[in-house]
Amino acid sequence: MTKQGTFRVRVAAVAGAAGLLLAACSSQDPLADPTEAGGDGGDGAGGSESIVVGSQDYYSNEIIAEIYAQALEAGGYTVERQFRIGQREAYVPELESGAIDLFPEYTGPLLQYWVPEVESGEAEEIYAQLAESTPDGLRVLEQSPATDQDAYMVTEEFAERWDLTTIADLAGVTEPMTMGANSEAESRPNGPQGLAETYGVEVDFTPIEDGGGPLTVQALVDGDVQLAIIYTADPSVEENNLVPLEDTEGLFLASHVVPVASDAVDEEAEGIINEVSATMTGDELIALNGRSVNEELPAAQIASDWLAENDLA
């Protein structure tokens, strides 16, 4: 989930043309894959307007968004894709403005965006708070069993050298440590300040703008950073013998995949997306991510294969 590819929605605001559809301008979007545009509109399936599906600039999130898009198209909806937008700070305002209609999100981190002082809790409590905190014009659909949890990761060698199993154990490390993560993490609750306030552990910070991806993993493996924020559903965790440190104080909130929808997502479309969410599991999400990382397949093919395997398209 990096900043590169940060998206700015193109809204044509011409006097006297207030009724211009977003689809009219998004058809010229250079980020869109012309082979992925589709859907026949269907009779009664969303009418003639498109459902705009967005994604973070994070390969796993793009795969989920593509699954949403293809599932809706199979249900007769016209879909516009606005993928790889960037970080939450870039795309949430577009959700709130109504420029994007459907977005795969993560329960705890999104709640923390809208309610910075939220206290930790069980997954269902986080989901309930998120549903209550969603701004007017938006709603969360059913959360998925699949999770993609932020976590502090260290190498196996570093964990063994300092006897680390929990985040609190970092207090026993007597050498300087540097945390690596997206630049936004420096000011987020689970960044260096949150680590210091919650666990009393002081670390330096270096930005690595690839959303916990291969650059972050390599920096950790090479020892350029000693601690990194990486997603638990990343297949590189197991491949590189990385160790997620147990968060005993709830610094990282539960992070279930959850769709955020605007009023443009009608009841039928909501049912389609809820079925996708119910079907996806944590192990399946890791497998989907592995197809992207290891097989280097495009999100469209990964999504199409998964939907076919699960009889959802």
Distance from the Cα of residue 256 to its chain's centroid = 10
Give yes or no: residues 192 and 123 share one domain: no
Count helices and strands in the chain by DSSP H and E runs? 12, 10
CATH of the domain at 92: 3.40.190.10
Bridge partners (DSSP) of residue 256 are: 147
**AA letter at 53:** V
Q: Specify the pLDDT at position 42.
A: 39
**Structurally, how many domains does the chain consist of?**
2
Q: In terms of DSSP bridges, do strands 51-54 and 79-82 run parallel, antiparallel, or are they unpaired?
A: parallel
Q: Is residue 285 part of a domain?
A: yes
Distance of alpha carbon 259 from alpha carbon 214, whole angstroms = 26
Determine contact, residues 194/120, Cβ cutoff 8 Å. Answer: no
Give yes or no: residues 128 and 271 share one domain: yes
CA 46 vs CA 43, 74, 214: distances in Å: 8, 13, 39
Q: Is residue 1 part of a domain?
A: no
Distance of alpha carbon 210 from alpha carbon 181, whole angstroms = 8
Which of 201, 217, 244 terminates a domain? The answer is 244
Q: Is residue 272 part of a domain?
A: yes
Q: Is residue 4 part of a domain?
A: no
Which of 244, 268, 286 terminates a domain? The answer is 244
Reading the block at residue 99, the tokens are 């420029």
Determine contact, residues 11/99, Cβ cutoff 8 Å. Answer: yes
Give yes or no: residues 141 and 259 share one domain: yes
Q: In terms of DSSP bridges, do strands 178-181 and 227-231 run parallel, antiparallel, or are they unpaired?
A: parallel
Give yes or no: residues 131 and 186 share one domain: no
Give yes or no: residues 32 and 103 share one domain: yes
Give yes or no: residues 133 and 265 share one domain: yes
Interior CA angle at 299 toward 296 and 305, to 5°?
95
Q: Is residue 10 part of a domain?
A: no
Q: Specify the pLDDT at position 250.
A: 87
Q: Is 231 exposed, middle or buried (0-12, 13-18, 19+ CB in 10 A)?
A: buried
Q: Specify the pLDDT at position 48.
A: 53
Give yes or no: residues 104 and 159 share one domain: no
φ/ψ of 275, rounded to 5, equals: -65, -40
Distance of alpha carbon 229 from alpha carbon 107, whole angstroms = 17
Distance from the Cα of residue 104 to its chain's centroid = 6
Q: Is residue 14 part of a domain?
A: no
Reading the block at residue 164, the tokens are 């680390």
Q: Specify the pLDDT at position 262.
A: 97
Quote helix, strand, coil % in the chain, to nearest 5: 40, 15, 45
The b-or-e profile of 44-56 (16+ CB within 10 A means b, else e) is: ebbeeebbbbbbb
Give yes or no: residues 193 and 71 share one domain: no
Strands (E), 29-177: 51-54, 79-82, 102-106, 138-140, 150-155
Q: Is residue 65 part of a domain?
A: yes
Determine contact, residues 26/80, Cβ cutoff 8 Å. Answer: yes
Q: Is residue 5 part of a domain?
A: no
Give yes or no: residues 222 and 279 share one domain: no
Q: Is 311 exposed, middle or buried (0-12, 13-18, 19+ CB in 10 A)?
A: exposed
CATH of the domain at 228: 3.40.190.120
CA 15 vs CA 19, 20, 29, 74, 168: distances in Å: 10, 11, 22, 37, 59
Give yes or no: residues 190 and 265 share one domain: no
Give yes or no: residues 36 and 129 share one domain: yes
Digit-by-digit pLDDT tens for the chain (313 residues) are 433 333 333 333 333 333 333 333 333 343 444 334 333 333 445 445 899 999 998 899 999 999 999 999 999 999 999 999 988 999 999 999 999 999 999 999 999 999 988 877 889 999 999 999 999 999 999 999 999 988 999 999 999 999 999 999 999 999 999 999 999 899 888 999 999 999 999 999 999 998 788 999 999 999 999 999 998 999 999 899 999 999 999 899 999 999 999 999 999 999 999 999 999 999 999 999 999 988 999 999 999 999 999 999 8
Residue 192 sits in which domain range? Answer: 150-244
Q: Find the length of the chain.
A: 313
Q: Which of 117, 196, 190 is nearest to 153 (CA)?
A: 190
Which of 244, 278, 298 terminates a domain? The answer is 244
Q: Which of 234, 90, 209 is nearest to 150 (CA)?
A: 234
**AA letter at 63:** I
Give yes or no: residues 116 and 261 share one domain: yes
